[in-house]
Amino acid sequence: MKSAITFYDRIPERWLNVEPLHAMQLLHELEKPTVVKYSSPNPKEGARWMVTLQHANESSGLYAFVDVWKKLMQSERSLDYDLYFVIANGYGAMAREDYPIFGRRFSPDQIDWNRCWTKPEEVGRGDMPARQREQVEELTSLILETNPEYMIDIHNTTGKNKPLAFVQERYAQGVLVHNLVNHIIYSGVLPGSLLDRFSDVCETVTLECGKTGTFEALYACQEMLRTFINFKTGNEKEKKESPLCYQELGRMVIKENVDFSFYNPNKENREFTEKERGRGTFLVRSDIENFNQTHVHDFGSLGVYEGEEFPLRFLEHGVDKSDEYFQIHGREIKIAKPTYGLLFTTNVHNIRVTELGYLMERV
């Protein structure tokens, strides 16, 4: 039977000649979702799974995998559990026509990989291409067959952030996640996500390493993979610091008819140009990504705007709560509630099609 995925029962030897920063060379071999097993000679614990590149523009996990493969093989490390690596969407990461390598979240003939995992009782998305459905189904059965104990799903953000984890509330006090990161976010329901699909099966954690394509995020990812592999089930928390836990409140969307641009808040008294004033431009602080996991009091205003109404909306489960969350002081747009920033970005495309960022509260 022709398989929809590629499975290796050991790390392919030829891959060990590839250096981590040349990991892109492997993409043409990763067109199908690819699973690589690192077998334990004597498994005493349930399997562990590491998934990456569900989002084809979020590359840190792939680079870190190449690094880990070398280290495991060179040290001839023997583990007490079978370890599995998944590279989900090498296909989407490849350059094609208008897109550069790692240039998009998924390709035009796919849907978002992190929205296509269905639970046994669910129907699943009707718009999922047949090829992708086969891939997801085959991957799911393979994962379930191994009796997984832990699973991490590695992502990047388009803005800067400190490493953070999304978990379902039931796992927020889990020892594993406390060892991995200092910032933990209770995940709401996200239908079709890997997190929703496998949290019922095993302790599942979604990790955001930091800004995609940066060394900072790669280092953070390497550190988290090391912790995950060395983690001993049942061990008391080794970290001294206790992590901060948050819950999402809602997201901030710039109004469709509002033009926006960025300004440097350290240069005082930025005047609007004639054109900006004519268009009613919202000037967003260019350091808005520093707001991530930072208290609003320490960060200050979001930007400046000369208009009667807010240039953006605050949406709590789709309901407009702008009046509760925003205030205008002179021409500065401020946040009225003691909250923390999450996933703020200066990526213009993301801001336009999705959001500027989220706010969360400590729990």
Pick from 230, 60, 239: nearest CA to 155: 60
Among 155, 178, 197, 313, binds Zn ion (CB under 5 A): 155
CB-based contact 259:300 (threshold 8 Å): no
DSSP codes, 97-111: TTB-TT-SSS-TTS-
Given the DSSP bridges, would you call strands 357-362 and 340-342 parallel, antiparallel or unpaired?
A: antiparallel
Give me the least distance between CB of 114 and Zn ion, in Å please: 6
Give me the least distance between CB of 345 and Zn ion, in Å please: 12
Torsion of CA 140, 224, 289, 95, to 10 degrees: -50
**Smaller CB separation from Zn ion, 82 or 208:** 208
**Smaller CB separation from Zn ion, 276 or 355:** 355
Region from 47-55, 120-128, 163-171, 228-236 binding Zn ion, contact rule CB under 5 A: 47-55
Pick from 309, 306, 311: nearest CA to 273: 306
Rounded Cα distance, 297 and 73, in Å: 48
**Smaller CB separation from Zn ion, 194 or 312:** 194
Give me the least distance between CB of 253 and Zn ion, in Å please: 19
Task: Give the DSSP H/E element, type plus range, for residue 197.
Answer: helix 194-198
Tell me the number of residues near Zn ion by CB under 5 A: 3
**Smaller CB separation from Zn ion, 57 or 281:** 57
Region from 19-27, 147-155, 213-221, 349-357 binding Zn ion, contact rule CB under 5 A: 147-155
CB-based contact 344:303 (threshold 8 Å): no
Task: Please tell me whether residue 104 binds Zn ion under the rule CB under 5 A.
Answer: no
Give me the least distance between CB of 154 and Zn ion, in Å please: 9
Give me the least distance between CB of 280 and Zn ion, in Å please: 33
DSSP codes, 237-249: P--SSPPEEEEEE
Convert residues 218-257 into a mask of x (bound to Zn ion by CB under 5 A) and - (unbound): ----------------------------------------
Give me the least distance between CB of 153 and Zn ion, in Å please: 8
- What is residue 105's DSSP assignment? S
Give me the least distance between CB of 64 and Zn ion, in Å please: 15
Rounded Cα distance, 203 and 196, in Å: 11
**Smaller CB separation from Zn ion, 51 or 359:** 51
Region from 79-87, 152-160, 236-244, 346-354 binding Zn ion, contact rule CB under 5 A: 152-160
Region from 24-32, 52-60, 83-91, 269-277 binding Zn ion, contact rule CB under 5 A: 52-60
- First-to-last CA distance in the chain? 50
Give me the least distance between CB of 156 and Zn ion, in Å please: 7
**Taking the mean position of all CA atoms in its chain, how far away is CA 47?**
23
CB-based contact 294:262 (threshold 8 Å): no
Region from 30-38, 148-156, 193-201, 333-341 binding Zn ion, contact rule CB under 5 A: 148-156
DSSP bridge pairs for 35: 7, 86
Q: Enumerate helices (H) and strands (E) in the chain, giving the number of each.
A: 10, 18
Question: Which positions from 292 through 331 interact with Zn ion, judged by CB under 5 A?
Answer: none
Question: Which positions from 57 through 86 interact with Zn ion, judged by CB under 5 A?
Answer: 58
Give me the least distance between CB of 235 and Zn ion, in Å please: 29
Rounded Cα distance, 30 and 7, in Å: 10
Region from 26-34, 154-162, 316-324, 338-346 binding Zn ion, contact rule CB under 5 A: 154-162
Q: Strand 332-335's sheet: what is its strand order?
A: 260-263, 282-285, 303-304, 332-335, 326-329
**Smaller CB separation from Zn ion, 55 or 197:** 55
Give me the least distance between CB of 55 and Zn ion, in Å please: 4
Task: Please tell me whether residue 55 binds Zn ion under the rule CB under 5 A.
Answer: yes
**Smaller CB separation from Zn ion, 155 or 211:** 155
Residue ranges in contact with Zn ion by CB under 5 A: 55, 58, 155
